[in-house]
Structure 1
Amino acid sequence: MVDTFQESPNRFFNLKRISDFVKVLVKSNLHQTWLLVYLLINLTLILRVATVSMERAFSSMKYNK
């Protein structure tokens, strides 16, 4: 069995965003090998969206008071 990382080690170079890194992990099936790293990055990407959503909800509640 050939290690997928050794097949193309250059796939992680020239990535601009964290989301690009996650896409490369999933395409190369390395998200199963580095599960905790994948979950941590996934959580950080979701956390930004959830925080903004909650701030908007509390802001609209402030106006309703």
Structure 2
Amino acid sequence: GAWEFGYWFSTDDCATWRRIATGTDFFAEGSIDNAGTIAGDLNIQGRFYVGFQGSAFKYFGG
């Protein structure tokens, strides 16, 4: 298949994938910096945090 930009999420050991952030949702507000760090939230299922190089962070899901 074609390559698609965004953040993806799997709950079945990678058998299927769901895209949860694309386009402008992919970036921190007002930023187009690259993602530098990604970490899952250990307390909220489905939530993860993305740290952007030099600008901000944003969370997705949960």
Indicate the TM-score class for this superposition, using the shorter chain for normalisation. under 0.3
Bigger fraction of residues in helix: 1
Bigger fraction of residues in strand: 2
Larger Rg: 1
